[in-house]
């Protein structure tokens, strides 16, 4: 049985990894991915996705551009500047159970 915190961590990780491995060829728009597009891709409600995007943005891991619609991108430089002992950083660096076939075509 998973707790609510563990489930929240899985959702945050899913959204973070989706942005981390996102590339312009797989997006509708080259500027980034909208929260709506991301919600469809991960099969979650838009308000949950927006909440998790804000958490990642506060950490400097993702950045947004535009106003309406707002496009989201993974910030490689910001990610590298996050402390290694940060819980969100450790969450995104744990690749033990990541299905890379979901993100890449071989």
Q: pLDDT of 69-102, one tens digit each? A: 899 999 999 999 999 999 999 999 887 777 767 6
**Number of domains comprising the chain:** 1
Burial class (CB in 10 A: 0-12, 13-18, 19+), 57: middle
Q: Is 104 part of any domain?
A: no
pTM of the model: 0.84
Q: Is 31 part of any domain?
A: yes
CATH code for position 23? 1.10.10.10
Q: Is 100 part of any domain?
A: no
pLDDT for 45: 96
Q: Is 48 part of any domain?
A: yes
Rounded Cα gap, residues 99 and 34, in angstroms: 23
Regarding predicted confidence, which is higher, 106 or 74?
74
Q: Is 83 part of any domain?
A: yes
pLDDT of 1 above 60: no
Residue 40: domain span:
4-95
């Amino acid at each position: 049985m998973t707790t609510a915190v563990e489930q929240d961590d899985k959702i945050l990780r899913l959204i973070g990894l989706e942005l981390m491995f996102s590339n312009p060829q797989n997006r509708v728009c080259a500027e980034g991915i909208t929260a709506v597009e991301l919600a469809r891709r991960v099969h979650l409600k838009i308000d949950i996705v927006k909440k998790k995007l804000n958490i990642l943005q506060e950490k400097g891991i993702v950045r947004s551009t535009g106003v309406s619609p707002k496009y989201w991108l993974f910030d490689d430089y910001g990610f590298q500047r996050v402390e290694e002992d940060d819980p969100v950083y450790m969450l995104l660096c744990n690749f033990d159970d990541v299905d890379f076939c979901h993100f890449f075509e071989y």
